Structure 1
Amino acid sequence: MIPRKSIVTKLWIYMTVLTVVALLISGLVLSNIFEDFYFNMRKNEMINEGQQLISLILGGINPSELLDISKFINAYSVIIDRQGLIQASSNVLKFEGVAIGPKELREVLNGNIVVSKSFVSQFDANMLTVALPIRTEGNVIGGVILFSPMSSIESTIWQIRYLVLSVAGASVLVLTALSLVLSKTISKPLIQMKKVAEEIARGEFGTKVKVKSQDEVGTLANAINYMSEALNKNINMLDQEKRQLQNILLSMTDGVITFDAENRVIMANPQAVEMIPDLKQNGELKVPKIIEPIVKKAMKCSEFISEELEIDGKVVAVKMTPLLSDDGVLQGVLAVLQDITRERKQEDLRKEFLSDVSHELRTPLTYLQGYTEALIDGIVKDSDEHDRYLNIILEETLRLRRLVDELLELSHMEAGHLNIQKDYVSIKELVEQVCKKFLPICEEKNINLKIEIENIPPILIDEDKIEQVMINLIDNAIRYSPSGQDVLIKAGADETGVTISVRDSGSGIPDSELPFIWERFYKVDKSRARKDSGTGLGLAIAKRIIELHNGKIWVKNCAEGGTEFSFFIPWDT
């Protein structure tokens, strides 16, 4: 701390200067008071002594005896007549002629007492002169003049001044020390409040000002303590709100970006960075070029803007909202990014769903109508041809039945109305049983069906439902595998549950299509012939059955070719 800026030093200097000035003024006033007092006292003494001399003279004393009388008074005496001429004087005086001036003489002859301080050449010094009139029978016949050296008076006055100065000097030293102590006492709580204020500025709110006085300093200390508590409470609330906002931004599936009025990125959550990789460059947030025109447009028109962009194969909905102050000044822009790729895909799937359902229903109905009308009209005469028409009608009827049954089954599953009948089942026997059903088809397509099954204990499952899942997976694997290739079925277990996989030898599924194969009526190859493809509901049903068993199902493309579908069922389902 710089001394000249210290409040202790300032208070000490101010109080010391004030004390010195006050003592100097007091000393001067007291000195003048003592000087006047002593002067008046000496004047009154000389007037009394002169009146005593006049009494003696009027009593008949010989003026020559004044020498003896002067020994008993501290003054020199002179007797004058009405003309001011000296009639007698102390023998030490060498007055000749007039002892006082004409003005003073007139005052004395008029019966007044004259007092003056002046330099008297006969004494070669400053003298206090007192002249008293001598009256007899009411007339002034002369006067008595007394001279007292001013040196004695001045010596006494200087002693008094020295005493006053000594007392003042001692008082200055004592009061300086006291002022230093007092300034420290006064400034101590202020210094403490300064330290507490600095700690508050650093964000430390635990320290309090310990001032118990009830004056203005105590009131200020209480105000600082209250301010500290209020700031601590408000900052904690702001931190809590900030953490909540941060948690909200982190838990959102949407991306959020805020821009300032200069088109600079202030904040972006990880979801936004994931959607727009160009948002973060060299560890710094930069405005991506792909959305920069939208940001500028939102700033220019100060209106809500919503657009859709395709970024790295994803469809992203960009919504820009300008941030305006209360007086309408633009402060920035808030951007919300939504990955609507799945929604757009699902929208396309819904359209395909309607198209596929219409197709799946219209085609067999067309067959049924055509062949039925042919039979009714009697167009078919040959019995073999008649039986072939009936078989086609039966086949299309069964196709419609399977389609309706699968739709109803999936609807019941999604509504939670499907009952699962669990029992302990041998996975090995279940897989072998399902594979036997596909042996004729495998022989027809020249597909080699391989089975690799470990020794797995019985597991608690719904045998019919799991068999339905396996039939769907194996049927798809055989359908999409070229002739002469293999379909591998594997089953294994660990401490958590059983995993069953079905791998085909086909061309695989595009990676961009993998997330959508579990949707209803979804078909990877849209151009595949109807008779070679299923209804598109099998995988959706299989996924729901596995989920009802608290398991999971997934698919991956194999590096050596083909696609592998797998599902896992825990022991405790």
Structure 2
Amino acid sequence: MTLRHSLFDKIFISFLVIFTVCFGFIVLYASNVTRSMLVDDRTEVLTNEAFLIADQTVAGYVQGVYTKDELQESLRYYSDKLNASIWVTDEKGIIYGFANADGHPDNPKNIFLVDPDFDIYTAQSFNGKFYNTFKSNVISVAIPIHINNQPNGMLLIHSTVEQLQNIQEKIVKLIYAPYLFMIIISFALLGIISGKVMRPIRKINSVAEQYSTGNFDTPMDIHSNDEIGQLASTLEYMASELAKLDEYRKAFISNISHDFRSPLTSIKGYIEAIQDGTIPPEKQSHYLDIVVQQTNRLTKLTSSLLELNNYDSYGIWLVCKDFDIVELVLSAINSFEGRCIEKQIAIRLNNHTEHSIVHADKTKIEQVIYNLLDNAIKFTPNGKSIYVTLSEKHDKIFVSVKDEGCGIPKDSLNRVWVRFYKADRSRGKDKQGTGLGLAITKEIIKAHNENINVVSTEGVGSEFTFSLSKATTDSEQS
């Protein structure tokens, strides 16, 4: 019950904070957008009215059609109609016609008293106190007057924004009132939905406690197609993988015990046979060679275990430099010449690269190629071939080692990288293998931030492919 309340409280508070922030943002956004739209619309109306007044009234006055009193009367009419102050200036900035709206201060005598650099030849619009002429914000538009295509002063209209604020408030209320209603409905639904969500969560928590005790067979019994169902499926998958990991741990101990016990048994048996005289002196040298071979196998196994343990604890220390991957591959192939002659195996190199310089740890990559070739030779029958192919794509070089061996069973492909794992077929044929070569290879390639993959078909063979980054032009030149 404590879990339910604590989680529900967190959900409730989170929703409350989110809705409050969103509501504030919407109100702020709606206010600003509405105000901007109203100001733009008002500015457009005032601009149109300014052109109308300039073309009809001011132009008539300048051309002698209207008297000064008629001009003033017409300006007062438009001022009352627009609830705005109207100023008319000549080309020297002198305001000779004006009509000030209620609450607006008297107009200046000359527009240049407001701003000496005021441009009376360009249409402009302002939103503010117009150079501190007004006590509150106004919307101002200014258009140049042209008579017979000649500049003849400017007409300015200043409209108060108070009336826009009233309109703005009404529009914003229309926007956030439904949103408030939606918040109330949402919190009501939240209480209902949270109850349905908490039941499977409590079930998941109970089963997870069973998993923590090692009881990985406890079923979830949650079969929904939503996120809760996916979580339950993921946990069940995790439990099955943990069960497999426990099996792997047992198999790991069994394998390492077997791989240590077999050579130790041989060494003990041969030495005891030499001590008690069962093996005659003339044959002791032969059996001592076998003891040395088994000792070397134990040494190799121990070194590989230590190497992998260091990788797990400290990671792989790479000393990267530029080198020719083709030369490295050729060197590795040549090192297996004796074994290839013994088994009548041909290693064929196919180089499809134009730029074979890579940037990597040369020693570690040499170990990778050696492991892959060694693995291929072990499982390739006499008289068959091994193909080493180099190709390039964009900034990567790909190296593949393909054999004509027995292949790897499909259900074993994902486990070839597991330490000490050996497919049943390979265990029978390779008594000297440690089962660690591919695990070490995988760790080295992963440390280079590259990939290695295997494709295999039973009865046809296996192909291991890994990638390396090309050396950059700058590093090649250096």
Q: TM-score, normalised by structure 2?
A: 0.52
Aligned equivalents of 1:356 and 1:439: distance in 2? 31
Query: Gapped runs of 5+ residues in structure 1?
Result: 1-204, 209-221, 246-257, 262-266, 268-297, 309-314, 324-331
Aligned equivalents of 1:479 and 1:488: distance in 2? 14
- Where in structure 2 are the equivalents of 1:238-387 lying within 5 Å? 318-320=219-221, 336-337=232-233, 338-340=236-238, 341-383=240-282, 385-387=283-285
User: What SS does the aligned partner of 1:474 have?
Assistant: helix
How far does residue 230 in structure 1 lie from its aligned partner after superposition?
A: 3.2
How far does residue 232 in structure 1 lie from its aligned partner after superposition?
A: 4.5
How far does residue 305 in structure 1 lie from its aligned partner after superposition?
A: 6.9
Partner of 1:486: 385
Aligned equivalents of 2:331 and 2:260: distance in 1? 32
Is the CA contact (8 Å cut-off) linking 1:523 and 1:536 kept in structure 2? yes
How far does residue 544 in structure 1 lie from its aligned partner after superposition?
A: 0.4
- Higher RCO (CA < 8 A, seq sep 6+): 2
> Which one of the candidate residues 411, 419, 422 is aligned to 2:317?
419
Q: Which protein has the bigger helix share?
A: 2
The answer to whether 1:405 aligns with 2:405 is no
The answer to whether 1:394 aligns with 2:292 is yes
Partner of 1:460: 359
Give a deviation string over 1:383-419, Cα, whole Å, max 9, x none.
Answer: 3x11112111111110000000000111111222432
Is the CA contact (8 Å cut-off) linking 1:321 and 1:334 kept in structure 2? no
How far does residue 372 in structure 1 lie from its aligned partner after superposition?
A: 2.0
Is the CA contact (8 Å cut-off) linking 2:453 and 2:466 kept in structure 1? yes
Aligned equivalents of 1:418 and 1:322: distance in 2? 43
Give a deviation string over 1:492-521, Cα, whole Å, max 9, x none.
Answer: 223222110001112322222222211111
Q: CA 1:436/1:353 → structure 2, altered by over 3 Å: closer, same or farther?
A: same
Give a deviation string over 1:551-572, Cα, whole Å, max 9, x none.
Answer: 1101112699321100001236
- The letter of the residue matching 1:336 is A
Partner of 1:230: 180
Is the CA contact (8 Å cut-off) linking 1:356 and 1:521 kept in structure 2? yes
- Name the Cα RMSD after superposition: 4.6
- Where in structure 2 are the equivalents of 1:422-461 lying within 5 Å? 422-454=320-352, 455-461=354-360
User: What SS does the aligned partner of 1:563 have?
Assistant: strand
Q: CA 1:380/1:533 → structure 2, altered by over 3 Å: closer, same or farther?
A: closer
Aligned equivalents of 1:527 and 1:352: distance in 2? 17
Partner of 1:535: 434
- Where in structure 2 are the equivalents of 1:38-117 lying within 5 Å? none
Give a deviation string over 1:2-56, Cα, whole Å, max 9, x none.
Answer: xxxxxxxxxxxxxxxxxxxxxxxxxxxxxxxxxxxxxxxxxxxxxxxxxxxxxxx
Aligned equivalents of 2:445 and 2:392: distance in 1? 16
Q: CA 1:235/1:558 → structure 2, altered by over 3 Å: closer, same or farther?
A: farther
- The letter of the residue matching 1:372 is I
Aligned equivalents of 2:327 and 2:296: distance in 1? 29
Query: Gapped runs of 5+ residues in structure 2?
Result: 1-28, 35-171, 211-215, 473-478
Q: CA 1:418/1:240 → structure 2, altered by over 3 Å: closer, same or farther?
A: farther
Is the CA contact (8 Å cut-off) linking 2:316 and 2:447 kept in structure 1? no
- The letter of the residue matching 2:424 is D
- The letter of the residue matching 1:504 is D
Aligned equivalents of 2:417 and 2:435: distance in 1? 9
Aligned equivalents of 1:474 and 1:542: distance in 2? 12
- The letter of the residue matching 1:459 is V
Give a deviation string over 1:464-488, Cα, whole Å, max 9, x none.
Answer: 2111111111111122122222110
Give a deviation string over 1:183-212, Cα, whole Å, max 9, x none.
Answer: xxxxxxxxxxxxxxxxxxxxxx9899xxxx
Is the CA contact (8 Å cut-off) linking 1:492 and 1:498 kept in structure 2? yes
The answer to whether 1:509 aligns with 2:459 is no
Is the CA contact (8 Å cut-off) linking 1:497 and 1:570 kept in structure 2? yes
Tell me which structure has the larger Cα radius of gyration: 1
Aligned equivalents of 2:265 and 2:173: distance in 1? 90
Q: CA 1:550/1:334 → structure 2, altered by over 3 Å: closer, same or farther?
A: closer
Partner of 2:376: 477
- The letter of the residue matching 1:569 is L
User: What SS does the aligned partner of 1:565 have?
Assistant: strand
Is the CA contact (8 Å cut-off) linking 1:477 and 1:502 kept in structure 2? yes
How far does residue 531 in structure 1 lie from its aligned partner after superposition?
A: 4.2
Q: CA 1:232/1:345 → structure 2, altered by over 3 Å: closer, same or farther?
A: same
Corresponding pairs, count = 291
The answer to whether 1:555 aligns with 2:451 is no
Aligned equivalents of 2:339 and 2:189: distance in 1? 68
Is the CA contact (8 Å cut-off) linking 1:546 and 1:567 kept in structure 2? yes
Is the CA contact (8 Å cut-off) linking 1:305 and 1:321 kept in structure 2? no
Q: TM-score, normalised by structure 1?
A: 0.44
- The letter of the residue matching 1:394 is V
Q: CA 1:527/1:345 → structure 2, altered by over 3 Å: closer, same or farther?
A: farther
- The letter of the residue matching 1:545 is I
- The letter of the residue matching 1:561 is V
User: What SS does the aligned partner of 1:546 have?
Assistant: helix
User: What SS does the aligned partner of 1:481 have?
Assistant: coil
Aligned equivalents of 2:270 and 2:395: distance in 1? 54
Q: Percent identity?
A: 31
Aligned equivalents of 2:468 and 2:219: distance in 1? 41
Aligned equivalents of 1:545 and 1:489: distance in 2? 19
Q: CA 1:459/1:223 → structure 2, altered by over 3 Å: closer, same or farther?
A: closer
Is the CA contact (8 Å cut-off) linking 2:356 and 2:470 kept in structure 1? no
How far does residue 437 in structure 1 lie from its aligned partner after superposition?
A: 1.5
Is the CA contact (8 Å cut-off) linking 2:409 and 2:458 kept in structure 1? no
Q: CA 1:389/1:433 → structure 2, altered by over 3 Å: closer, same or farther?
A: same
Q: CA 1:352/1:526 → structure 2, altered by over 3 Å: closer, same or farther?
A: farther
- Where in structure 2 are the equivalents of 1:108-257 lying within 5 Å? 228-233=178-183
- The letter of the residue matching 1:495 is H
User: What SS does the aligned partner of 2:390 have?
Assistant: strand
User: What SS does the aligned partner of 1:507 have?
Assistant: coil
Partner of 2:445: 546
User: What SS does the aligned partner of 1:564 have?
Assistant: strand
Is the CA contact (8 Å cut-off) linking 1:318 and 1:336 kept in structure 2? no
Q: CA 1:537/1:527 → structure 2, altered by over 3 Å: closer, same or farther?
A: closer
